[in-house]
């Protein structure tokens, strides 16, 4: 007749090995496990904290330099990003304010402004790149104007080119 139970072995099962250890060693394994989990969570939290802004939302200190002057100099750039769309204002220390709208694609940014001045329509374009850590950006500035002449024909004039830079904060 066959035995219904498997033959017994002198080897303890894994569960018996753990429970047969002295209580001090079981506590040590428990504490070691908790410490490993705590360290993993801390590393994950720190890595998340090190990755600063990944968009351009916020206030930026700016400097715009046009080859012939005009609306240039230091100022403040205040931006809001929603997906790839960006909007905001550029306020020069002189008091001139430009409302901007544009796009960001990866680290490439373009901001545009259309403003009227007397009988002329001006179009400013800021193109540039954002640094890997999104702490600064820089690029080129161009603008042109369209003026309606007395004969009814528009005249387009390119303005001076320039550069711009911005630092977060």
Tens place of pLDDT for every residue, the chain, 169 residues? 555 555 555 676 665 655 555 555 555 555 665 656 656 655 554 444 444 468 999 999 999 887 665 556 889 999 999 999 999 999 988 888 889 999 999 999 999 999 877 778 888 899 999 999 999 999 999 888 888 878 888 888 887 788 999 999 8
75 with 41, same domain?
no
Q: Please give the Cα distance from 9 to 62 (Å, whole number).
A: 78
112 with 69, same domain?
yes
41 with 95, same domain?
no
Produce one character per residue of 43-53: b if its CB has 16 or more CB atoms within 10 Å, e if not.
eeeeeeeeeee
Domain count for the chain, please give it: 2
Looking at residue 46, its pLDDT comes to: 47
User: 76 forms bridges with which residues in the sheet?
Assistant: 61, 91
Q: By residue range, what is the domain housing residue 32? A: 14-50
85 with 143, same domain?
yes
- Is residue 106 one of the residues assigned to a domain? yes
Q: Please give the Cα distance from 114 to 122 (Å, whole number).
A: 6
- Is residue 108 one of the residues assigned to a domain? yes
- Is residue 1 one of the residues assigned to a domain? no
Looking at residue 82, its pLDDT comes to: 95
Looking at residue 134, its pLDDT comes to: 93
User: Two tokens at 98?
Assistant: 């430009």
**pTM of full prediction above 0.75:** no
Q: Please give the Cα distance from 115 to 131 (Å, whole number).
A: 29
- Is residue 121 one of the residues assigned to a domain? yes
Region class of 52: left (phi > 0), else alpha (psi between -120 and 50), else beta: beta
Q: Which of these, 71, 52, 50, lies nearest to 62 by C-alpha position?
A: 71
């Amino acid at each position: 007749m066959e035995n219904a139970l498997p033959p017994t072995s002198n080897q303890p099962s894994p569960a018996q090995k753990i429970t047969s250890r002295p209580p001090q060693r079981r506590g040590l394994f428990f504490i070691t496990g908790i410490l490993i989990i705590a360290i993993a969570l801390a590393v994950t939290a720190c890595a998340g904290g090190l990755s600063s802004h990944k968009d351009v939302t916020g206030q930026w200190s700016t400097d715009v330099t046009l080859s012939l002057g005009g609306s240039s100099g230091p100022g403040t750039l205040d931006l809001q990003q929603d997906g790839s769309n960006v909007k905001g204002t550029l306020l020069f220390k002189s008091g001139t304010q430009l409302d901007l709208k544009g796009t960001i694609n990866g680290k490439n940014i373009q901001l545009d402004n259309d403003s009227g001045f007397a009988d002329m329509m001006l179009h400013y374009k800021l193109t540039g790149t954002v640094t890997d850590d999104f702490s600064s950006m820089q690029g080129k500035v161009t603008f042109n104007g369209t003026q309606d002449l007395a004969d009814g024909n528009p005249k387009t004039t390119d303005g001076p080119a320039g550069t711009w830079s911005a630092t977060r904060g």
